[in-house]
A and B are shown apart, each in its own frame.
Chain A
Amino acid sequence: MLLLAFDTATPAVTAAVLDTGTGEVLASADQIDARRHGELLLPTVDAVLREAGVAKERLGAIAVGVGPGPYTGLRVGLATAAALGHALGIPVHGVCTLDGIARAARDGGFVDGPFLVATDARRKEVYWARYDADGVRVEGPAVDRPAEIDEKLATLPAVGAGALLYPDAFPGALEQAPAHQSAAALAAFAADALASGAELPSPSTPLYLRRPDAEVPKNYKTVLPS
């Protein structure tokens, strides 16, 4: 099956086409531009499909990163995936964005024991998750201030831009490991999960992890001088 994968939950705008039969990544593209997910995603999807020589009608499924990640960018990927899946009549599978980064770190040989993945959640917080030696997520995803993460965990090897951003909190941050998401790794993770029958998160339930910022207005303010 031909699997199209993309993710917009980190500063990366990344897309890839994977042949799940052979495990071969037919094409992939990664750009880092946190402010232009909306402009860049569809042209990037088009570019990888062209490079792979795959007509969109031949796609069998879509895998999309469901976060956690800054909401506006995250929604670009999810809205795109939902509409593509609907129009093409193919299933859309969600993947926790941190699982993609974890997969890339393991496939790249940067980790072999337990480790953390942390991305930038802004507002001095990180989105993070903990993985065991087999690369299985055992804790998270969660959003916290780096200093609030249990010290025993925070000293594990850590990958991702969130770990690099707070070296004091993450002394095990691995500078050489990929800092952002890559859709090729996301696709590989999704393909394995689908093959093994593992459950993937619903693409219609983004991992926001925070409630919307909204304040109930205070009681009516008087305008007459008191």
Chain B
Amino acid sequence: MAADEPLVLGIETSCDETGVGIVRGTTLLADAVASSVEEHGRYGGVVPEIASRAHLEAMVPTVQRALDQAGVKASDLDGIAVTAGPGLAGALLVGVSAAKAYAYALGKPLYGVNHLASHICVDQLEHGRLPEPTMALLVSGGHSSLLLTEDITSSVRSLGATIDDAAGEAFDKVARLLNLGFPGGPVIDRYAREGDPKAIAFPRGLSGAKDPAYDFSFSGLKTAVSRWVEAKRRAGEEVPVRDVSASFQEAVVDVLTRKAIRACKDEGVDHLMIGGGVAANSRLRALAQERCDRAGVTLRVPRPKLCTDNGAMVAALGSEMVRRDRAPSAFDLSADSSLPVTDTHVPADHDQLHRLSE
């Protein structure tokens, strides 16, 4: 690890995980996460107010845990990065408020960064600096996007996204339908391993010749699974949970990987990274590897813990912002629940920069 690489602490509170990470350049030093997922379980989804309350409680202890893990002093940091958006407004605001206060009290630059760009940048902690360009497939309970980045600190372009449910949401809903609990991703993955992915022919959304090439739709699939399961239940037959899980999962990952490879070919990009919580899915990883190998595309998937929401990914992008000398954010930085993916970070305007340097 190069000692002169920027040491940055990153704070992530866009959903239900309070994440604080510390990285030096592309080296991960700490990845502390406090999750409120169990409190949301009985509601079958994330409840924003519960998440926000949990973020406030967890913030300082999680920062301290990260500093202890990394074995660094807060005064040694070169910057504080924080997810400025997109995400749940009230949840984001807790992280942004804390990050500003840390940056201000420690006299360090503040970097409000984009959550989606952070999901891409985290791969640097696993596989070294991102090739430019890199195609990114981000799939989680909150997002399903195909993004093309030329420079992770300044250029991220959206090629396509889900027009209805996020991929992870579809997993959650199908898991609920099958009474498997929340979150749905890991448990469906587990049942699917023992099931037949070809048992039921579930539809592949937006895969027709005239459909948008890179957009996704999972709502029709979810309905198809519901109908199929209900028909079984009405007929008094037992629902083959393993086969339903495997066939549903196959429909999701088939469309995701097919479109991602197509985007790589169309754009002449030979590196694909997959991030977001659903990237932990074993079948998605396997099928992506198979299809990337066939297409001559190099696949980069960070380990599961780095794929879910965490502070390390925010720190990774923050460190890259420092390294590339990007302008820091001002102390009136706001949390933006719908921050466009093209806004990789939220720099202060020119006048504010002058005031910051006073």
Contacts and interface: CB of A to CB of B under 8 A. Distances in A.
Nearest to B177: A220
Interface stretch (B52-60, B145-153, B183-191): B52-60
B43 A216 contact: yes
Interface in A86-127: 86-88
B334 interface: yes
A215 interface: yes
A56 B56 contact: no
A71 B90 contact: yes
A43 to B, nearest CB: 5
B47 A79 contact: no
B333 interface: yes
A99 B99 CA distance: 28
B281 to A, nearest CB: 23
Contact of B227 (A78, A86, A223): A223
Contacts of B227: 223-224
A217 B59 contact: no
B57 A76 contact: no
A176 to B, nearest CB: 33
B93 interface: yes
Nearest to A88: B105
A44 B105 CA distance: 14
A212 B50 contact: yes
Interface string A182-226: 000000000000000000000010101000111111001011100
Contacts of B105: 56, 83-84, 87-88
Given A75-B52, A75-B94, A82-B59, A212 B47 contact: yes
B93 A76 contact: yes
Contacts of A208: 53
Contacts of B234: 224
Contacts of A151: none
Contact of A38 (B42, B44, B335): B335
Contacts of A42: 97, 100-101, 104, 331-332
A79 B230 contact: no
B37 interface: no
Nearest to B11: A83
B236 to A, nearest CB: 15
B332 A84 contact: no
A220 B102 contact: no
A29 interface: no
A87 B230 contact: no
Contacts, number: 118
Contacts of B100: 42, 80, 83
Contact of B49 (A45, A82, A214, A224): A214
A52 to B, nearest CB: 15
Nearest to B106: A87
A173 to B, nearest CB: 30
Nearest to B52: A75
Interface string B55-81: 111011001100000000010000000
B93 to A, nearest CB: 5
Given A42-B332, A217-B43, A224-B227, A78 B49 contact: no
B163 interface: no
A215 B47 CA distance: 9
A139 interface: no
Main secondary structure of the interface of A (DSSP, over half): helix
Given A38-B96, A80-B97, A222 B49 contact: no
A75 B90 contact: yes
Given A86-B64, A215-B43, A223 B101 contact: no
A74 B60 CA distance: 17
Interface centre among B43, B55, B101, B335 (most CB of A within 10 A): B101
A46 interface: yes
Interface in B181-237: 223, 226-227, 230-231, 234
B176 interface: yes
Nearest to B63: A86
A216 B45 CA distance: 9
Contacts of A39: 332-334
A156 interface: no
B279 interface: no
B98 interface: yes
A122 to B, nearest CB: 14
A206 B60 CA distance: 15
Interface in A19-65: 36, 38-43, 45-46, 56
B49 A84 contact: no
A79 B10 CA distance: 16
B139 interface: no
21 contacts: A40-B332, A41-B97, A42-B100, A42-B101, A42-B331, A43-B332, A45-B104, A72-B52, A79-B56, A79-B94, A80-B97, A83-B59, A83-B63, A84-B105, A204-B57, A206-B53, A212-B49, A213-B47, A217-B45, A222-B230, A223-B227
Given A46-B104, A81-B101, A84-B101, 7 more contacts: A39-B333, A71-B53, A87-B106, A208-B53, A213-B47, A214-B50, A217-B176
Interface of B: 42-45, 47, 49-50, 52-53, 55-57, 59-60, 63-64, 74, 89-90, 93-102, 104-106, 176-177, 223, 226-227, 230-231, 234, 331-335
